[in-house]
Amino acid sequence: MQYKIFFGFLFLIGAVLNGLNAQTPQVVLELKWGSGIENAGFRKAPEANYGPRAFAVKDGQVVILDEPQNLLKIFKNGRLLRMFEIPPFSDDVEFNSADDFVILAENRLYFFKNGRIVNSVKPPTPMDVIEAIKRIDVNHLQITFSDQSKAYFQLNDTQLLKKAPASAGNALSELKTVKLDEHTFRLETGPGQTTDMALKSEEPLASVRYLGSDDLNRHYLNLEFFEQQVPLRVRREIRVLDGQFRLLATIHAPVNAHTEIFRDWFIEADGLFYQMISGAEGIKIVKWDLTGVVNADRPLPLRYPQPFYEGVHYNLLNTQDAGSQLSKVSDFEDYPQIMPSEALAIADEYVRLYWTCTQDNLTNGVVTDPYGNQVRTPSWIVVGQNQHVPYKWGGSESIEAFLYGIDILKYAGDNYTDGGGTPSAVGVDCSGFVSRCWNLPRHYATSMMDDGITLPYLSWSEAEPGDAVHKVGHVRMVVRQNTNGSLLVVESSGQDWKVSYRTYYYSSLVNYTPRYYVNRQGAPDNIPQPRLNAVTINEAGKMELDWSLEGLENVSSLRIYFSTDGNSWGSGISVPKDTTQWSVPINDGQMIFVKLRSFSSGAYQNPSVSSDVYGGFRNDGISRVLIVDGFDRTSATSGRWQYLYHSFATTLGKSLAAAGIPFETTTNEMVRAQNIDLENYPAVFWLCGDESIRDGTFDREEQLLVTDYLRNGGRLFVSGSEIGYDLGSHGTAYDQTFFSDYLKAAFVKDNAGSWQAEGAVGTPFAGLQVRFDDGLQGIYPVSYPDAINPQGGAQLALKYANGDGAAVYFDGVFPNGNRPARLFYLGFPFETIYDAAERDSLMSRVVDFFELYNLTGIDEEQLQKTPVAFKLIGNFPNPFNNQTQIRFNLPAPGRVKLTVFNTPGQQVFEGQFSFTTSGAQKITFSGDRLASGLYFYRLVFNGQGKTFVAGNKMILIK
């Protein structure tokens, strides 16, 4: 018994020491870039840098798949032992011994015995992209495809790889990962055996990939998280789980690769984990000793030394664009629409095409053609039959033009990328290929594809088949989103100098943006976009949604999506297309955000662009404030925000909720139409973004409403980078009076030239530090932050780093006012403060300054919930299609009669409605049986022994 205790103690000490060792990775091999056989090969293509693509570790030997040199190299103790010539464009290696290994190259498996190829097989179709290979035993391989299906292959078989379903008792039942949503993934361990795992990260999950297991029954996963969706920035983790799928360790892996790597990890059976790190000087093979990591109660957070995280990703280095001078963007609205299935079919034809090459179609190195251009045909092309259309720098030939060019002895492709392209070769480059797939009449270069012909999505989850994965310098086309979060794409690239299908995880797509061609059938631009008008919370504890949608004839349905954090969204609920209101329960202390999308009629049921994201927060005992979204400017109207929808009310709402302040959300149009009454809220938070002269920050009607609100003692927060430029510098006399008297500011200059501010000393905002987007933070660039000074009794709240005024505040009675009010005006957009803690700190100071914890309204007399008189607010929407809501306030319970007349004065409707409560009420009116035109309506209210009459007009459009 004593011996058992003693050896158990030694094992525990050993495990602890191993756990400590695991926290310090060891470099086991380092190769500098170069052309020597003991160097790491390096080549540069238009879209990426390429070096060694994969590696393996066996019996103390490190095996490097050096793709640029077409060599498999075996090292031991840092010295080269042996090397073997391998096929061009090799991606991966399954290494059993120097006399027995398998190479994956151009989506084909090559089997080597004694250094020679003895067999090769390929998948059933080019779209069946091989993602991983694993030896099961001496004679069998398991192949994983990008759709996570598998094949079980006998090495002496000569047939095509055949997909097979997972089944109990065979190797195909190996663990599989499925991304369920942005915070949850599923582990499938066998038929009907699943484990769902929720992530605590605030960043949305991008992809989850199963890497393998060791003999200690531990599983290794690669997780990628979106740090920023557009342009893409990711964070990567390697997670180690025990046999019960409990977390043992997390390795925070670098993403700043200098070259594109196909597989950068290797798992040894005894619990050693290796990674290949690509840097500016070369590659390093790094070992983590995880043998002693066994405690699931205290999982280890492991990090590389800081130098491993430094450097620049290859996507930030490569910006070549062959077609920047080929054509200008114009008149693309008149181009015919392309169906997604048609675009993918065209792409597939480029991949599958068989064609015959002659010696005259090849350059055999770099030659100078009759036009004085240097040309080089890709090395994979041989005399005789070839498959795939080759890459050609600056090329955009159709299939017919390519085959004709081969027949008349033009060169087959051109990968000499230091020139401007040549007419003596045929083929397609990346943008020429996508232009062809979209049936464009001319070649649009990547530098032109972000200039109106395509528009960006806000998140990668929205990317559909036929969409683009784009950055200036390269473009790919989406084929599908795989179940584990990766993307299957089709592209013409320098990776293999041809048109091919490829699988990408997001760490390889840094700096890219998902975009859609505006004339793609089913593209969001071609489907009516819902407009979310208001999200309010009624006294019964329900959140009420109000929206509008035009063009119902092209819509099959609507879908409402809900989120508690504004990041992770469920599958939503489907509602009839002619619905304009909906309500859902909201509990005390709950925050809910919502957005809508419409879906097209027809077979594809494609989604529209999302509505803006609005929300509400219920916190009983404190009066709700109102967020007014007045930001409608986009890059189409010379703004810096690119998208047709945004979630900036979410950004502000989260900061209010962090301060415990409940809120509702609406548009400035709803306020202007007086469908939402500012007087019902103790404070209003108005967002203007970078709206300027063209869009108008506050029009005359909005100014009057804000003026009345402040005169009556309201609290107003307003932010925007062009308010002073619009009203104070270029405004009318009314604008300038409103700016000086009610926003309490004097315009100083259009561009403060600083993107950080601090609280003014001796004010409620002293000590604050806030930084906002200068164009490098991924929100949107604040190109011209206003510099302002206080006016009319206001004080400076924030100063830019250069001393200019960034915000003003005021506490007192406004001109012609009857009670004290408060104002905070920020000279740059609140939503562009990129650090959440800094946003929350600023909002907390504003909330304290407004004294919102102690208010139930502008004051007890002014903001009582029961109106003192009957008031007709109006109908919305107006004009309307089918239905509109007539809204009014009742001073007491009673009956309301609604009468509707046409323009000749004939009565077309009359109805009686009873209301058992006072306050805000509405009647839904349907125009189903009426013709389009102008109508007049009248409301008559009887209650408290009095009669009130009010009326208005409305327009029905069918």
Which pLDDT score, from 0 to 100, does residue 2 have? 42
Average pLDDT rounded to a whole number, residues 792-818: 96
The mean pLDDT value for 930-948 works out to 83
766: DSSP letter: T
**pLDDT for 155 beyond 80:** no
- What's residue 876's pLDDT? 65
Strand pairing class (795-800; 205-213): unpaired
Q: What's 935-958 look like in SS3? A: EEEEEEEEECCEEEEEEEEEEECC
8 Å CB contact between 32 and 66: no
Asked if pLDDT for residue 8 goes beyond 90, the answer is no
Q: Quick one: CATH architecture of 867-956? A: Sandwich (2.60)
Report the DSSP beta bridge partners of residue 619.
none
Amino acid code (one letter) for 305: P
Q: How far apart are CA 577 and CA 555, in angstroms?
A: 7
Strand partners, 824: 717, 809
pLDDT of 108 higher than 90: yes
E strand segments, 86-139: 90-97, 100-105, 108-113, 116-121, 130-137
Taken in order 776, 782, 784, 788, the sign of the CA dihedral is negative
- What pLDDT, in 10s, does the model give residues 171-194? 445 688 999 988 999 998 877 788
Confidence of residue 854 (pLDDT cuts 50, 70, 90): low
pLDDT in tens, 249-278: 999 999 999 999 999 999 999 999 999 999
Q: What are the sequence ranges of the domains in the chain?
A: 21-167+175-308, 340-516, 619-635+650-749+784-860, 867-956
Q: In the structure encoding, which two tokens stand for residue 680, read together?
A: 């019902």
Nearest to 824 by CA among 718, 689, 705, 727: 718
Q: Does domain 21-167+175-308 have CATH number 1.10.10?
A: no
Q: In whole angstroms, give the CA distance from residue 421 to residue 326.
A: 10
pLDDT at 871 over 90: no
Would you state the structure tokens that stand for residue 579, as one six-digit string? Answer: 């619905």
Output b/e per residue, 608-618; b: 16+ Cβ within 10 A.
bbbbbbbbbbb
Instruction: Pull the structure tokens for residue 30.
Output: 């380092």
* pLDDT value of position 868: 53
Judge residue 28's burial from the number of C-beta atoms within 10 Å of its C-beta, 0-12 exposed, 13-18 middle, 19 or more buried. middle
Q: Which of 151-155, 413-417, 492-496, 564-568 has the lowest mean pLDDT?
A: 151-155
Tell me what the pLDDT averaged over the chain comes to: 89
Average pLDDT over residues 127-153: 88
DSSP 8-state symbol, 148: S
C-alpha to C-alpha distance for 610 and 150, rounded to whole angstroms: 36
End-to-end, the C-alpha distance of the chain in Å comes to 90
Residue 855 has pLDDT above 70, yes or no: no
Q: Rounded distance, CA 412 to CA 670, Å?
A: 61
> What would the DSSP string read from start to end of 83-99?
EEE--TTEEEEEEEETT
In terms of Cα–Cα distance, which of 301, 268, 264 is closest to 279? Answer: 264
pLDDT tens string 585-643: 999 989 999 999 998 876 667 788 899 999 999 988 889 999 999 998 887 667 888 78
Question: Could you tell me the two tokens for 746?
Answer: 């004097």
Dihedral of alpha carbons 493, 495, 498, 499, sign? negative
- Is the pLDDT reported for residue 18 higher than 90? no
Of residues 93 and 854, more confidently modeled:
93
How much is the pLDDT for 464? 92
Question: Tens digit of pLDDT for each residue in 39-57?
Answer: 999 999 999 999 999 999 9
Nearest to 412 by CA among 437, 441, 387, 430: 387
Least confident of 15-29, 606-620, 667-681, 928-942: 15-29
pLDDT digits (tens, 9 = 90+) for 369-411: 998 999 999 999 999 999 999 999 999 999 999 999 999 999 9
Query: What is the longest distance spanned by two Cα atoms in the chain?
Result: 107
3-state percent breakdown (helix, strand, coil) of the chain, nearest 5: 15, 40, 45
Residue 26 backbone phi and psi in degrees, to 5: -115, 130
Q: Where are the beta strands (DSSP E) in 495-549?
A: 498-504, 513-517, 531-537, 542-548
Q: How many residues does the chain have?
A: 958
Question: 619-635+650-749+784-860 domain in CATH 3.40.50.880?
Answer: yes
Answer with the residue of higher pLDDT: 18 or 878: 878
pLDDT value at residue 873: 67
Answer yes or no: pTM beyond 0.75: no
Q: What's the pLDDT score for residue 7?
A: 37
pLDDT mean over 285-289: 96
The angle at the Cα of 938, spanning 935 to 941, to the nearest 5 degrees, equals 160
Q: Domain 340-516 belongs to what topology?
A: endopeptidase fold (from Nostoc punctiforme) (3.90.1720)
Quote the percentage of the chain above a pLDDT of 90: 66
In angstroms, the CA 428 to CA 421 distance is: 11
Q: Which residue has the higher pLDDT, 445 or 428?
A: 428
Q: Compare 668 and 326 and report the one with higher pLDDT.
A: 668
Cβ atoms within 10 A of the Cβ of 500, count?
A: 21
